[in-house]
Amino acid sequence: MADGVAVARRAGDGPGPVAVLAGFARALRAAGVAADHHRTQSFLAALGHLDAADGRDVYWAGRLTLCAGPDDLPRYDRCFAAYFSASSAVRRVRGTTVSVTRPVATPYGGGEQEPAGEPGAPPATASEIEVLRHRDVARMSEAERREAHRLLALLRGTRQPRRSRRYRPSPHGGATDARRTVREILRHGGAPARLRRRVRGTRPRRVVMLVDVSGSMAAYADTLLRFAHALVRAEPRATEVFSVGTRLTRITPALRHRDPGLAMDACSAAIPDWSGGTRLGEEVRALLRLPDPRGAIVVIASDGWERGPADLLGAQMARLSRLARRVVWVNPHKGDPAYRPMTAGIRAALPYVTDFVAGHSLAAYEALAALLAGDRPVRRAGTARKEGADA
């Protein structure tokens, strides 16, 4: 087939077929597929069982060994077609939209992130921090914002644990652990020994956070992503973060960088729809179909300027509230005392929201972190709204 000819042709003027195939894996890595050394070895081993001169066999051997998820498949197809430049033989495998990553300026600093705590800026004093804590992020100066980001990076993003199904030994009380007790008896040659006990362990409760990166949220998106970063750093295996705008993008891997600046860079590279509109209804629906929100705390950070139909958002929120442990809606505008939830989107969603909180200042983010950690939030009379199903 044409592809096989392409492999041979590339091998002909280059260093040989193995180098050509390894080069393909390298091209894939550049395209964002995690085709590491181990996987490349598997790729070559797989081709040993197939016909390396047949393009279809090369295609499948590579797809089965080098890809790790459905997101990789469109990238793989594009890369395969480009590398072996015989696209006719490769049909498109998935009908998903292909996301094009383009560098887009973050709301501040044009995508260049200075590391937090720059040598030039002296740390703020206690009273300055107190003032800063209550200032609206959107109205901060560049220096203040840097300081706020530094403080945000220090935030503890832990959360209330949930009971696990896994048992652990307990020195005091709990159910009898028959296995360990009998084992103990055996160790003592059959003489009755002390009863061993076990209790259920705990695990961090999963948090799924949706960060609205549409145009109307531009002033807060960066800070919200930094808050999400603090959550991911505290519990990397129990946190999922998605950016929402015109589409749902999983940005958890980008936020796994320890350094907040690098994590923000990775985010802006990963999010294809900065400063577009919001179609939250469709995205909550997408969320309900992929990562399971069952039992999780779902945090939605958005101003609710919904472009899609409000009743769709309402229906999806209803379903979400039935699956999730708790639905927290963070609205940056709620910090304004004159704010009333008037937009159609937020009015449709509110009945299904467990906690409706502000998200404009450091103090608000601290309160949110405390809410997730299981403390009750400090509520001012008349501002907190609690309706709908509380799991």
Q: Of 235 and 259, which CB lies nearer to another protein in the complex structure?
A: 235
Binding mask 103-132 for another protein (x = CB under 8 A): ------------------------------
When asked if residue 29 is in the footprint of another protein (CB under 8 A), the reply is no
Query: Binder to another protein among 285, 325, 334, 360 (CB under 8 A)?
Result: 285
Instruction: State the minimum distance, in angstroms, from the CB of residue 211 to another protein.
Output: 19
Query: Binder to another protein among 319, 339, 341, 344 (CB under 8 A)?
Result: 319
Instruction: State the minimum distance, in angstroms, from the CB of residue 91 to another protein.
Output: 10
Instruction: State the minimum distance, in angstroms, from the CB of residue 311 to another protein.
Output: 12
By CB under 8 A, the residues from 138 to 197 that bind another protein are 164-167, 178-179, 182-183, 185-186, 189-190
Of 41-49, 105-113, 149-157, 360-368: span binding another protein (CB under 8 A): 41-49
Instruction: State the minimum distance, in angstroms, from the CB of residue 95 to another protein.
Output: 9
Instruction: State the minimum distance, in angstroms, from the CB of residue 390 to another protein.
Output: 22
**Cα-based distances in Å from 236 to 36, 123, 230, 233, 263:** 22, 29, 10, 6, 13
Contact indicator for 206, 171 with CB cutoff of 8 Å: no
Instruction: State the minimum distance, in angstroms, from the CB of residue 96 to another protein.
Output: 11
Instruction: State the minimum distance, in angstroms, from the CB of residue 157 to another protein.
Output: 19
Q: Of 259 and 292, which CB lies nearer to another protein in the complex structure?
A: 292
> If binding means CB under 8 A, how many residues of this protein chain bind another protein?
46
Query: Binder to another protein among 8, 131, 290, 378 (CB under 8 A)?
Result: 290
By CB under 8 A, the residues from 51 to 90 that bind another protein are 56-57, 60-61, 63-65, 67-70, 73
Give the residues lining the site for another protein (CB under 8 A).
Answer: 34, 36, 38-39, 42, 45-46, 49-50, 56-57, 60-61, 63-65, 67-70, 73, 93-94, 164-167, 178-179, 182-183, 185-186, 189-190, 203, 237, 285, 288-292, 294, 315, 319
